[in-house]
Amino acid sequence: MTIKERAQSVVDEFSMFDDWMDKYAYLIELGKELPLIDEKYKNETHLISGCQSRVWLHASYEEEKVSFTADSDAVITKGIISLLIRVLSDSKPSDIVTADLSFIDEIGLKAHLSPTRANGLVSMIKQMQLYARALHIKNS
């Protein structure tokens, strides 16, 4: 599945909900289902700066694809990172760096976040793209 197809799947799922309380509840559920990051990556090196909550992100590179694991100490933030991982993980680095992430606006996520959480969302995306670039360069 491509990034675009995974993003469309997220849009389709969120379109089933009429109000944002239901969407938040779904986001929280997605966060609860996120496979936990290995404890050895829950350190300052893997902490994303710019997030109101603490978010740890790890990237690995196998068979020319980047995979992500993450965790957060806040349930909404954990749901947000789980969405990003679902859409971007298991993709080629170049696809991650150039990905169209308009699904975030399509589901209305950014518009329904506080300014600090919206900044955190941008920081998460940037960090995922930085990891993708770095892993691509390292393995080229």
Single pTM value for the model: 0.93
Q: List pLDDT tens digits, range 29-73.
A: 999 999 889 999 999 999 998 877 899 999 999 999 999 999 999
| Residue 66 exposure: Cα atoms within 13 Å on the Cβ side | 30
Residue 140 has pLDDT above 70, yes or no: no
Give mean pLDDT, residues 96-100.
94
The answer to whether 89 is a known catalytic residue is no
| Active-site option among 51, 80, 81, 132 | 51
Q: Is the CB of residue 127 less than 8 Å from the CB of residue 34? A: no
CATH architecture assigned to 3-138: Alpha-Beta Complex (3.90)
| Domain assignments of the chain as residue spans, ordered by start | 3-138
CA-to-CA separations, 58 to 5, 14, 29, 41, 107, in angstroms, rounded: 23, 26, 21, 7, 26
